[in-house]
Structure 1
Amino acid sequence: MGTLSLSEYEDVSIWVPWGHISGRWYGNRKERPILAIHGYTDNLGTFDRLIPLLPDYLGVLCIDLPGHGCSSGLPPGIQYTFVEWSYVINRIMRQFKWSKVSLMGHSMGGVMGFLHTCLAPHTVDFIITIEAVLNPVGRVKDLSAYAFNIDKFVEEVERSSSSTIYEANSHTLQHFCDFLNVYTFESVPTDRAQHLLNRVMHRSQLYPDKFYLLRDNRTKFVNDFVMTPELGTEMARRIRNKPYLIIKGSDSHYITDNDYQVITILRDQNPQFEFHEVPGKHHVHLSNAEDCAKYIIPFLRQHRPPPKKEETKHRL
């Protein structure tokens, strides 16, 4: 058996009341795929380096969350919430009539998987999370940060009606790659940044040698869903005997002491729980996809094994 090809996929558009959720379905289209969900302000390009390492007997459906990548933004004036993004898992399951879901998520996408698995464990057959347990946005203690987000959200709604705003902020591709590297505290290497830029970067009509980013900036100003340590531990207790893989970047601080309390509960009551640390920062699946795959591939082969030869013949 080989591996998935990044160039061989089917574009997917999933209806939602405000528009559509955009996705790419790689590999096997005859069976239910793994649902892959990106992190906060990223898009499905976050999995570009991991996809070609995964076994090709599987399918992987990578999506852009609402307001991210090529997916529709929420109606004007509506604020994004963590819970609304989490509803996407249920919406996609209903769209494809899945009774179960296999989840893989980075950062916020991993937290969404944790939340969904806690609320509906009977619908999840396994979960893979990269650099995520509890919601880091919900740890903010400084009320001034909430006030800032409210003010910036209203400001963004007022200015978003003008497309010239984006054209005026046109820059070279190298500028955006460098900016993303700095913005993520060097978590996204400059030479990997284009994976996250491809779905939001557009060539300027005013400055043909430059580009601008077209995305819903409301996604940057979210005040929602505080996951306290007490709530986190209670959520973890609801997840038993569920194949669960967590990968942490060794140089990242997104997984904290509060997360380790949850991890301890998951490990103690779950013989199918795995936790591994690999060299890298928060976007370790982009910077060091190979080491992540060393743990993800055996996990997949164990919990979504390849079809037996006789099963394959029967399908043909």
Structure 2
Amino acid sequence: MGNLSLNDFEDVSIETPYGYLMGRWYGNRKDRPILALHGWQDNLGSFDTLIPLLPDYLGVLCIELPGHGYSSPLPAGMHYSADDWVLVIGRVMKEYNWKKVSLMGHSLGGILSYIHASLAPQTVDMIITLDICLPPFDAPECIEKRAQYMERHLVEEDRTRLMEVQEPPSYTMSQLRKVLSRGTFNSVPVEFAQHLLNRSVRKSQLYPDKFYFFRDGRSKYHALLPFCAEKGLEMAKRIKDKPYLIIKGSDSPFIDSRSEEVISFLAKNNPYFEFHEVSGLHHVHLTNATECAKFIVPFLRRHRPPPAAGVVNSPGKGKL
């Protein structure tokens, strides 16, 4: 057995009522893969450095959320929310007729994995979340943020309509790397930015050697489910004894004291729960993939071991 290769993949397209979910299936396409979900404003490129470190007996299907990467945006006039994005998991399962799903999610993808696992625990056999545990809690200051989001969403709607007749501002690739890095507060350093830019920019038709962002700006002003500590704990209780791995970036604020109750509950009540800290910021799975893989690979081998010789679990429709 060896490791997965970024060159061994099949591009996938899953039809939805509003367009298509796009993704890339790496490695083994005979058995049910790990379903990988990227973070907010990212795309499947965020897994580029991690994929080649994972064992090749398992495939990894990276799906891009609506409004991200090459996936279709929601129809005009619609607003992005966790309710829409979490349905991506169910849509993929329906497409391949899976009765179970193994989830690996970074940031927003990890939040969606947590929500799905708590709402439909009977469908989940394993969860890996990368630098996330819970959605942000509701707080009084969220009211002002919501008010700003309403206004900015309407601005983005106008900007989207304008893009249909006028190309947006374009930049050199070097400039875009710096813009993306600044937008992540250097969580994605300039030298790693290209992994995300490959599926989030288009070549300018007006200026040679320039590009522009084409992701749906409305997705920046999404709505998560109303959330509080009590709800987070009740959701953890529904997940129960699922194999669950959380990896935290040591210098990232995304797992903080608000997650302590849920992490403590899982540590005490779930014999298959693991929590590890790895040096890095929020995109630790991209910038420090080697250290992340030191925990992910043994976890996969324990809870999704190689199939017995001669046993094939086909991912095709009607086979699982």
Q: TM-score, normalised by structure 1?
A: 0.95
Q: Distance in 1 between matches of 2:40 and 2:4?
A: 25
Q: Call closer, same or farther: CA 1:102–1:262 in 2, change over 3 Å.
A: same
* Structural mapping, 1:218-233, within 5 Å: 218-233=218-233
The equivalent residue for 2:288 is 288
Q: Call closer, same or farther: CA 1:38–1:137 in 2, change over 3 Å.
A: farther
Q: After the TM superposition, which segments of 4 or more aligned residues of structure 1 sit over 4 Å from their partners?
A: 137-140
Q: Call closer, same or farther: CA 1:109–1:230 in 2, change over 3 Å.
A: same
| Cα distance, 1:238 vs structure 2 | 1.2
| Cα distance, 1:223 vs structure 2 | 3.0
Q: Partner of 1:161: helix, strand, or coil?
A: helix
Q: Which amino acid aligns with 2:59?
A: G
Q: Distance in 2 between matches of 1:291 and 1:179?
A: 27
Q: Which amino acid aligns with 1:301?
A: R
Contact 2:81 2:224 in 1 (8 A): yes
Q: Distance in 2 between matches of 1:229 and 1:149?
A: 24
- 1:118 partnered with 2:118: yes
The equivalent residue for 2:275 is 275
CA offsets 1:245-276 (integer angstroms, 9 cap, x no match): 00000000101111111111111110000000
The equivalent residue for 2:202 is 202
The equivalent residue for 2:27 is 27
The equivalent residue for 2:159 is 159
Contact 2:137 2:229 in 1 (8 A): no
The equivalent residue for 2:317 is none
Contact 2:243 2:272 in 1 (8 A): yes
| Cα distance, 1:310 vs structure 2 | 5.3
* Structural mapping, 1:53-202, within 5 Å: 53-136=53-136, 138=138, 141-163=141-163, 167-202=167-202
Q: What's the C-alpha RMSD, in Å, of the aligned pairs?
A: 1.5
| Cα distance, 1:304 vs structure 2 | 0.7
Q: Call closer, same or farther: CA 1:69–1:138 in 2, change over 3 Å.
A: farther
| Cα distance, 1:177 vs structure 2 | 0.8
Q: Which runs of 5+ in 1 are unaligned?
A: none
Q: Distance in 2 between matches of 1:22 and 1:158?
A: 25
| Cα distance, 1:74 vs structure 2 | 0.6
| Cα distance, 1:164 vs structure 2 | 6.9
Q: Which amino acid aligns with 1:130?
A: L
The equivalent residue for 2:297 is 297
Q: Call closer, same or farther: CA 1:180–1:165 in 2, change over 3 Å.
A: farther
Q: Distance in 2 between matches of 1:301 and 1:195?
A: 27
CA offsets 1:53-78 (integer angstroms, 9 cap, x no match): 10011111001100100000011010
Q: Distance in 2 between matches of 1:21 and 1:253?
A: 30
Q: Distance in 1 between matches of 2:8 and 2:303?
A: 24
Contact 2:252 2:280 in 1 (8 A): yes
| Cα distance, 1:101 vs structure 2 | 0.2
CA offsets 1:137-172 (integer angstroms, 9 cap, x no match): 756734221111000111111221122787341111
CA offsets 1:34-65 (integer angstroms, 9 cap, x no match): 00000111111110110011001111100110
Q: Distance in 1 between matches of 2:174 and 2:150?
A: 32
Q: Distance in 2 between matches of 1:194 and 1:205?
A: 20
Contact 1:131 1:255 in 2 (8 A): yes
Q: Partner of 2:239: helix, strand, or coil?
A: coil
CA offsets 1:94-130 (integer angstroms, 9 cap, x no match): 1110000000000010111111111111111100000
Q: Partner of 1:162: helix, strand, or coil?
A: helix
Q: Partner of 2:246: helix, strand, or coil?
A: strand
Q: Distance in 2 between matches of 1:135 and 1:20?
A: 26
Contact 1:239 1:266 in 2 (8 A): no
Q: Which amino acid aligns with 2:301?
A: R
Q: Partner of 1:118: helix, strand, or coil?
A: helix
- Give the structure, 1 or 2, with the largest relative contact order (CA under 8 Å, sep 6 or more): 2
Q: Distance in 2 between matches of 1:84 and 1:137?
A: 19
The equivalent residue for 1:51 is 51
Q: Distance in 2 between matches of 1:239 and 1:142?
A: 27
The equivalent residue for 1:246 is 246
Q: Which runs of 5+ in 2 are unaligned?
A: 313-320
Q: TM-score, normalised by structure 2?
A: 0.94
